[in-house]
Chain A
Amino acid sequence: MNRRARVGLLLVPLLILLAVAGVAVRLLVFPPPPPLAPEVISLDTAEFPLLSEDPRKAKKELEQARRALAKLIPKGEYIVINTHANIAQMRLGEKVLLQGVCSTGSGGALTDSLTGQKWIFNTPHGVFRIQNKLKDPIWRKPDWAFVEEGERPPRDVSERFDFNVMGDYAMGFGDGYFIHGTIYERLLGISVTHGCVRLGSDDLKKFYDRTKPGTPVYIF
């Protein structure tokens, strides 16, 4: 074998190795991208109305837009429930007036094996308002509370009342959801509830005292 052939034989595996290594590095550094969610495309290509060229019209349009956004900001105090970090706040614009650790919905599911009825224990997200304020609230146990314990829901309503689990105060924000106290204060900060928002007794009193019917409740 002459010298040229030997160099060639050495060079070929070297080049192949180099090519394979190149592809491997390429895949490692820039792995194939994930499929684009339609929401990403629509957000990244969204078009908005343009400001008028006419200076007077433009000024008016800009003022209108500023006012429209300012209108959305609550004028008074509002409650915020952060279900991600289990934090409850009373806010006034940029200011945080009260803050406490809370517990929110677990996201767990329960199915009644007899009837097939299903419950998912999420705290609802969105904007609500305090509808009522209760002192020494009594819990009227819904069906799932019995199904969870492996019991059948009673026909007699009086068997549904539980006097000791909701703490000293409760504030309803619609559809049977409440901000209330708990006998399991050690679990605050963990998402363990069936959808209601639990607060520790000290925080609950402070929130209760500052809240009025109609106070907005922002849950995210």
Chain B
Amino acid sequence: MLLAIAAIGLAAVAAMFSPPVAKFWRQGEEGTGHEQVPAARQASAEPTAAPPAKSAGAPARPGAERYRDAAEYQYLQAELQLAATGKPYAVFIWETQPRAEVRLKGATVAALPMRVEGGEEAVRRFRDRFRGPQRRVLRGILQKYLYMAQDQTPDSVLTIVGNVLNMDPEVLQRHLPEWFELKWRNDLVLEVRADVKGKPVEGVDLRIVRLQQTLRRPFGEVRLRVHMDRADALTLYRLAGPGFPTLSRLP
């Protein structure tokens, strides 16, 4: 009897680690992406992988150019729609000076430079996973996790200010992030580090976080680690909640 229970348990664990269940568990609409990254790379090099056209008729333009134009058009349409919402959105730009630009109604309202770890290869993997097999230019952030942060203003100061202003000091506090992550649906993670001396936020065990990061990698997670200035990291952290729209500009 016990042997049977143990065998069922083992089978269940094995099933949980199997790709289809893991995919369901992680809500990855596009799986782990292991098998898709080469496809996306291939697409960017292979003009025939262009999105389907609106209508047939006149002869198509040379493939590579046609593919680039179609991709740019998708990007422009996505940004135009986001601009029309009147809410901020972020555009990741990877060429020359990697940065996240926060835009509002099409105007750049903040440029947040990033120093990327891992060089061009890491950026390419991030960009490819962002696009995925559907070659998306737009994705919403699924979750953000704050691991280490520093209080912006000493509590003692805020207590005095709070008394003067009749306000709860906790409302006035800002947490400068030292280490946080933005996660997208398709096992894509942007890990942000800032030049702040923080401490682990309440309820976070950094040993478990590091263990999770190490163990997730073989299961197809793509992670890009970037370093940012503290004010820029604070801006990105506070803006980028679940559902925050992000665009990845085409190379």
Residues of A within 8 A of B (CB): 8, 11-13, 15-16, 18-20, 22-23, 25-26, 28-30, 32-34, 36-44, 46, 48-56, 58-59, 61-62, 65-66, 68-69, 71-74, 78, 80, 82, 84-85, 87, 91, 93-94, 106-108, 110, 125-127, 148, 187, 189-192, 216, 218, 220
Contacts and interface: CB of A to CB of B under 8 A. Distances in A.
Contact of B165 (A39, A54, A93, A192): A192
Contact of B76 (A15, A69, A218): A69
Given A187-B161, A218-B104, A22 B54 contact: no
Closest 5 CB pairs of A and B: A72-B106, A19-B9, A39-B243, A15-B6, A22-B13
Interface stretch (B33-41, B78-86, B121-129): B78-86
Contacts, number: 227
B70 A51 contact: yes
Given A54-B57, A106-B167, A127-B105, A23 B13 contact: yes
B6 A12 contact: yes
26 contacts: A8-B3, A15-B3, A16-B2, A29-B212, A32-B25, A34-B142, A34-B143, A39-B140, A39-B243, A50-B70, A53-B53, A54-B58, A55-B58, A55-B60, A58-B70, A62-B72, A65-B77, A69-B79, A72-B105, A85-B232, A87-B231, A127-B86, A127-B105, A127-B107, A190-B152, A218-B104
B104 A44 contact: no
A58 B26 contact: no
B86 A126 contact: yes
B204 interface: no
A13 B17 CA distance: 22
Contacts of A106: 165, 167, 171-172
Given A187-B161, A220-B239, A48 B12 contact: no
Nearest to B74: A48
Interface of B: 2-3, 5-7, 9-10, 12-13, 16-17, 22, 25-27, 29, 51-61, 66, 69-70, 72-74, 76-81, 83, 86, 88, 102, 104-111, 136, 138-143, 152-153, 158, 161, 165-168, 171-172, 174, 185, 208, 211-212, 215-216, 219, 231-232, 234-235, 238-239, 242-243, 245
B171 A108 contact: yes
B9 A20 contact: yes
A53 B69 contact: no
